[in-house]
Amino acid sequence: MSPDHNFNDSQKITQPALGLSDLLVSESVARSVRRKIPERVTNAKGSGAFGTFTVTHDISNYCKSSLFSKIGTKCRVFTRFSAMHGEKGSSDAERDLRGFALRFYTEEGHWDLVGNNLPVFFTKEPQHFSEYMRAQSPDASTNLRSAAKKWDFYSAHPESLHVLLMLMSGRGVPANFREMHGYGTHTFSLINRNSERFWVKFHLISQQGAHAFNGGSTQHNFAHIDLLSSINTGNFPKWTLAIQVMTAEEAKTSRWNPFDVTKVWLHEDFPLIEVGEIELNEIPTNYFDDVEQAALSPANTISGIGLSPDKILQARLFSYADAQRHRLGLNAEQLPVNQDFSSPKYHAMDDVAQSISFKPDQYDNEGDHYTQPGLFFSKVLNDAERQILIRNIVEEMQQIEGSDAKNIINRQLCHLFRANIELGMKVATGLQVNIDANMMSHSL
Ligand code: HEM
């Protein structure tokens, strides 16, 4: 009989006092179960590296930041690459935007360029952002991503067509992080010593070239592994930082609203100007400390680099610090990867406030969601790339199911026709949809 059977209700159970070793065990168990922090609400899966930025060209006529004051100036950088919608366990082969977030540790403070691998975005209106995020999230009942939800959003928001065509092309699944370009995506501003303001787009051009994933790797985390192994073997990846510059006068007569994040600035009108070179040459010694706990934000900027009236950029200003207060706590800024050692600390707030309060001119073709996607299809892609794009669109649209499937497909076909007739025709043929006069009339 066990000793417990000797107890009756009237007897007191005396528990042995907790010993120091029990407390230590509890503490170690508690540390183990509390070892994770909330993941980023988007861009959860990522890889990071440190490196160096070197100024190679003089842009001091556009920008007063000490970073750009002379050729040869260097600063430390941190980069985090990520998949926008993939969960932490997602495959690097998923079709998705890739985040390309860069921090420059300058002597005037942090300048964060929190961009993507595609130069445009899905919406120009912050009020559509949560609808967009819902469309990309798993279905409430199946917990699986749903083609119907995604294409319902795309077809209801034709301003998404431009980035959608890029995403469905080979660029939607890059070979790895080294072989992809990066873009600040939004329009920012540069302010020079005479307080003149220039509108600017930032580009990060991969010196490894931009290549699409060719299905060669069976490794789930191949892009992460590629980054680690190339840096570990001294094959340091490099990007050229370049800018497109638009003057205030040019902005007034621009064919498209220069603050619309669904549009690019054509390179023939606004050629690339080289600024410097980024080299990634150092793997973080502790992934959790440096990559997981990095708190990057478009609101982190320095004197001489301002923002713009781009509404999506403005919506992002509050959102990142807010997410990080939840994800990392109030002291996130004191974590080593986030610490700002600049001295003295300059305040870029005047430059930021000026560019945010700027009231842009009216542009009468705000509803033109088709010309630029059409140019991407007919001028940027070559013939083989066009066929891949069409195949990818057909394969995805074939998965649209549910009672509204026919409407979604017809709406989206109209958008494709309006961008380019060949594109609309070939997708419709691939989907075995009969083209009706109504659909065709949209393209004329
Ligand atoms: C209204 C629009 C947007 C909102 C509200 C938003 C919000 C957020 C939030 C809350 C995070 C997580 C931040 C963190 O926990 O550290 C995040 C991450 C990120 N976002 Fe956005 N975002 C928006 C649009 C964009 C756009 C247009 C881009 C690219 C041009 C972008 C690029 C990124 C990247 C790269 C990350 C990951 C940063 C990192 O690696 O730490 N986002 N976004």
Tell me the C-alpha distance between 320 and 284, whole Å: 23
pLDDT of 337 over the 80 cut: yes
Question: How many percent of the chain have pLDDT more than 70?
Answer: 92
pLDDT band at 8 (very low <50, low <70, confident <90, very high): low
Closest ligand 1 atom number to CA of residue 296: 41
More confident call, 24 vs 280: 280
pLDDT band at 383 (very low <50, low <70, confident <90, very high): very high
Tell me the C-alpha distance between 329 and 322, whole Å: 10
What pLDDT is attached to residue 5? 46
DSSP 107: T
Tell me the C-alpha distance between 115 and 205, whole Å: 13
- Which residue's CA is the closest to the ligand 1 atom numbered 43? 42
CB of 335 closer than 6 angstroms to any ligand 1 atom: no
Count CB-CB contacts under 10 A for residue 441: 10
Contact assessment for residue 151 and residue 222, using Cβ atoms and an 8 Å cutoff: no
How many A from CA of 86 to the centre of ligand 1?
Answer: 13
Per-residue pLDDT tens digits for 111-157? 999 999 999 999 999 999 999 999 999 999 999 999 999 999 999 99
What pLDDT is attached to residue 289? 96
Mean pLDDT for 422-426 is 97
How many A from CA of 128 to the centre of ligand 1?
Answer: 15
How many A from CA of 42 to the centre of ligand 1?
Answer: 7
What pLDDT is attached to residue 443? 54
Per-residue pLDDT tens digits for 215-274? 877 789 999 999 999 999 999 999 999 999 999 999 999 999 999 999 999 999 999 999
Mean pLDDT for 388-405 is 97
Question: How many percent of the chain have pLDDT more than 90?
Answer: 81
What pLDDT is attached to residue 427? 98
Q: Where are the domains of the chain?
A: 45-122+174-357, 137-156+370-444
**b/e code 184-217 from CB counts within 10 Å (16+ = b):** bbbbbbbbbeeeebbbbbbbbbbebebebbeeeb
CB of 77 closer than 6 angstroms to any ligand 1 atom: no
Closest ligand 1 atom number to CA of residue 80: 40
pLDDT band at 1 (very low <50, low <70, confident <90, very high): very low
What pLDDT is attached to residue 11? 55
State which amino acid sits at residue 187. T
How crowded is the C-beta side of 388, counted as CA atoms within 13 Å? Answer: 16
109-116 and 74-83 beta bridge pairing: unpaired
Per-residue pLDDT tens digits for 167-176? 999 999 999 9
What pLDDT is attached to residue 9? 53
CB of 245 closer than 6 angstroms to any ligand 1 atom: no
Over the chain, what is the mean pLDDT? 92
CB of 311 closer than 6 angstroms to any ligand 1 atom: no
Q: How far from chain centre, in Å, is Cα 303?
A: 24
Tell me the C-alpha distance between 121 and 185, whole Å: 8
Span of 14-28, 54-68, 233-247, 399-413 with lowest mean pLDDT: 14-28
Per-residue pLDDT tens digits for 183-227? 999 999 999 999 999 999 999 999 999 999 988 777 899 999 999
Q: Find out if CATH 3.40.50.1370 is the number for domain 137-156+370-444.
A: no
What pLDDT is attached to residue 348? 61
CATH number of 45-122+174-357: 2.40.180.10
pLDDT of 107 over the 80 cut: yes
CB of 174 closer than 6 angstroms to any ligand 1 atom: no
Token pair of 110 as six digits: 């942090």
CB of 182 closer than 6 angstroms to any ligand 1 atom: no
Mean pLDDT for 91-115 is 96
